[in-house]
Amino acid sequence: MKPGMKPVRALRYTLLSIRDLLVSAGPVVLLAVALLVLAYLWLDPNPPKHVTLATGPAQSAYEEFGKRYQKALKAYGIEVVLVPSEGSPANLRLLRAGKADLGFVQGGSTDRNANEESGIVSLGSLFLEPLWLFYRADAAKNAPGGVFSSLTQLQDMRVNVGFRGSGSPLLMRRLFEANNLDPATLKLSRLDQTAATVAFLNGELDAIVFASAPESLMVQMLLQTPGVKLMDFSQSEAYSRRLPFLTPVLLPRGIVDLAGDKPPQDVRLVATTTALLARDTTHPALLQLFSQAARDLHGPAGWFNRAGSYPTIELSEYPISREAERAMRSGQPFLQRWLPFWIANLVERMWLVLGIILAVLLPLTRIVPPLYQFRIRSRVFRWYGQLRDIENRLHDGPGHHPELVRELDALDDKVGRISVPLAYADELYALRNNIEVVRRKAA
């Protein structure tokens, strides 16, 4: 035997055994693949590559937070398309019309039956959105102490309550009603934030109202503008009792500018909470990513909250998404801490189906060994029929049978070319021995 022949034959027998095993297990493997494909198509575990988020007017806090979510989800390969709008009511309309997948909506922007409305879910309340009522110092020169402390003092004043379609006009209407104020006694305007701020600084307006997080550029600018004062809601606790969607908050002294001592004293405000709402048809993996991003973006301490206070799923006006509830309570899923998001998400959303498929396939795997054994042994046993036929013809005519000897020689040659795993070599050699026994009878 040539050198290296034994390793080559051993490798050939090993590959042959593996091939036969794969062929025998083929039906089970094909069934498993088919079930996995069907489960994948049914569950649709991986989210789409882009999602739409309804934000708000230019230079608003909603726009700023939208950009932060856009950056956070870009790390996972998700493109967040920002949809500008007039504000909360407009965002709610976009969600209901299916023109946005998610949107920022201010508390109190919807009707009382919102929790019964189908198709919208909440990812939780993200942050407090105080009501900022800025007024010109010269407009309050006749007020006690030169400051406004009640909405009733705004009568006959030129007040901008916010652009039509934003949440501010609706909120202010409810506050006016609580104070028994007839809007007809006020000179109300509904300019957008930029136009209203320009008119206010030019002296064309006496007061201007924003309902926005402190991250708003307009709020930041007006808080530090000379000659502009922020109204102190001395009745903030009473407002929160009369209007449940409002929360009394305190703007601490010096929080805007410690060195400049701005504001020079604590300012009491009322605030709503802004929620991140989504359509219930939005992919669950996207809801999970937004909820995780919300914990990172809104969890740190802010002007009006301590660290970890937000986001929260308490007192929501809409049903809470299961993905949001899980993210709030458990944080990032275990697999996502160690695996890329796409792999972790796939496993996480299909593990139950994988368990069911495994339970179905396990009994079927028991047929693989007998099928493998039958496939190998059939290569040997199928030649016994021809050998039996030759032996029968030999018994029919005693004597020398050269033609039968030639058939036996041909059969022996064919059998000699059969390849079987070494574990079944004894059956192959048994066949060849039987051929030799018949050949001696025919000689």
Q: Report the amino acid identity of residue 340.
A: P
Residue carrying structure tokens 């944080």: 331
pLDDT of residue 406: 81
Answer whether 0.85 is exceeded by the pTM.
no
Where do runs of H (alpha helix) occur along 304-424?
Answer: 322-330, 341-364, 368-381, 384-396, 402-416
pLDDT of residue 95: 92
Q: Phi then psi for 251, rounded to 5 degrees?
A: -90, 105
Q: Containing H/E element for 164?
A: none
| Longest Cα separation, the chain | 141
Residues 416-437 as b/e (b if ≥16 CB within 10 A, e otherwise) read eeeebeeebeeebeebbebbee
243 is written with which tokens? Answer: 């209007």
Distance CA 232, CA 203 (A): 21
The dihedral of CA 192, 194, 200, 206: what is its sign?
positive
SS3 340: coil
Residues with Cβ within 8 Å of residue 4, at least 6 apart in sequence: none
Other CB atoms within 10 A of residue 150 CB: 14
Q: Using N-to-C axis directions, what is the helix angle for 368-381 and 5-43, rounded to 10°?
A: 140
Residue-level pLDDT, tens digit, the chain, 443 residues: 444 445 655 555 555 566 666 665 666 677 677 666 666 556 555 678 889 999 988 878 889 899 999 999 998 888 999 999 888 888 988 999 999 999 999 876 665 454 455 689 999 888 888 999 999 999 888 888 888 988 988 888 899 988 776 778 888 888 888 898 887 778 899 888 888 999 999 999 999 998 888 878 888 899 999 999 999 999 999 998 888 778 899 999 998 888 888 888 999 999 988 899 999 888 888 898 899 899 889 888 888 888 878 888 876 778 888 888 888 777 676 666 676 776 666 667 666 666 666 766 677 667 767 776 777 777 777 777 887 887 788 777 665 577 877 887 887 788 777 777 666 778 778 878 887 887 777 76
